């Protein structure tokens, strides 16, 4: 009777707007000590990762595990902590890649390494050597006249000419493993 009509339309566009990322833009952690330890990434996600995350990776539950802090529903922030068992005797290092995803989100990969000699202060090979002093790499060589510094991803992060000795400032470099390659073909690995 009164001439009023109601119309309703439902449109499903099938759009999913989910995300998952590490808030500091970091997905690599090097230098977990041989005696075991942990590293934490600060995540941001639409979902509580403790309830919704799918996590896998070689060695999971055998020598590493993951746990989640409290989920902040207002910001989406949540800590994700990887915990590592001690290195077994005879094993000097091991690495893992953890794959993390949540519903409707592409996989995010995290890379971690555990090293027996995490406190290396000085390594000498052939005529070239490196010492970590404070926030610097102090290099010396009786043969080489140049050195390049690479991170574990293979990126060149510093270089220097060597005239007997040289100091390479490393204050802006993250803690972790670095590879120094001298032009006399000597390669030295150090932990900062």
Per residue in 155-183, pLDDT (tens digit) is 889 999 999 999 999 999 988 888 888 88
189 contacts: CB under 8 Å, gap ≥ 6: 120, 123, 177, 178, 179, 180
Which of 85, 115, 145 is the C-terminal boundary of a domain?
115
Together in a domain, 108 and 130? no
> So what's the pLDDT on residue 145?
92
> Residue 3 domain-assigned?
no
> So what's the pLDDT on residue 61?
86
pLDDT over 90, % of the chain: 20
> So what's the pLDDT on residue 19?
54
Together in a domain, 85 and 167? no
- The CA–CA distances, whole Å, from 177 to 76, 119, 133, 144, 151 equal 32, 10, 15, 22, 7
> Residue 103 domain-assigned?
yes
> Residue 133 domain-assigned?
yes
Query: Quick one: pLDDT band at residue 15, thresholds 50, 70, 90?
Result: very low
Q: In the predicted model, is pLDDT for residue 16 greater than 60?
A: no
Better-predicted residue by pLDDT, 154 or 61? 61
Cβ atoms of residues 106 and 121 within 8 Å:
no
Q: In the predicted model, what is the mean pLDDT of residues 129-140? A: 88
Together in a domain, 101 and 131? no
pLDDT digits (tens, 9 = 90+) for 84-109: 999 898 888 888 888 888 776 667 88
> Residue 71 domain-assigned?
yes
CA distance 181 to 156: 10
pLDDT digits (tens, 9 = 90+) for 25-50: 667 777 788 888 888 888 888 888 88
Together in a domain, 57 and 110? yes
Together in a domain, 179 and 127? yes
CATH of the domain at 143: 2.60.40.3080
CATH of the domain at 28: 2.60.40.10
| Domain count within the chain | 2
Together in a domain, 108 and 42? yes
Q: In the predicted model, is pLDDT for residue 125 greater than 50?
A: no
Domain that residue 149 falls in = 122-191
> Residue 51 domain-assigned?
yes
Together in a domain, 109 and 29? yes
Together in a domain, 148 and 184? yes
Mean of the per-residue pLDDT values of the chain: 79
> Residue 9 domain-assigned?
no
> Residue 182 domain-assigned?
yes
Together in a domain, 92 and 107? yes
pLDDT over 70, % of the chain: 80
Together in a domain, 95 and 139? no
User: Strands, DSSP E only, in the chain?
Assistant: 20-22, 28-33, 37-45, 54-56, 64-68, 77-84, 93-101, 108-115, 122-125, 128-133, 136-141, 146-151, 156-161, 165-169, 177-182, 187-191
Which of 76, 98, 115 is the C-terminal boundary of a domain?
115
């Amino acid at each position: 009777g009164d001439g009023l009509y109601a119309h309703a339309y439902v449109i499903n566009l099938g759009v999913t707007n989910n995300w998952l990322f590490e808030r500091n833009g970091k997905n690599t952690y090097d230098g977990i000590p041989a005696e075991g330890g942990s590293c934490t990434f600060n995540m941001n996600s639409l979902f509580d990762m403790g309830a919704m995350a799918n996590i896998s990776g070689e060695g999971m539950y055998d020598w590493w595990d993951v746990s989640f802090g409290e989920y902040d529903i207002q910001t989406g922030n949540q800590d994700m902590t990887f915990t590592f068992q001690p290195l077994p005797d005879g094993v000097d290092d091991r690495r893992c890649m953890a794959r993390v995803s949540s519903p409707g989100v592409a996989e995010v990969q995290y890379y971690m390494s555990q090293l027996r000699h995490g406190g290396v202060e000085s390594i000498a090979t052939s005529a070239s050597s490196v010492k970590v002093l404070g926030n610097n790499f102090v290099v010396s060589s009786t043969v080489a006249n140049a050195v390049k510094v690479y991170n574990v991803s293979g990126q060149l992060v510093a270089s220097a000419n060597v005239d007997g000795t040289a100091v390479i400032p490393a204050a802006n470099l993250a803690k972790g493993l670095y590879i120094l390659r001298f032009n006399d073909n000597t390669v030295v690995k150090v932990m900062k």
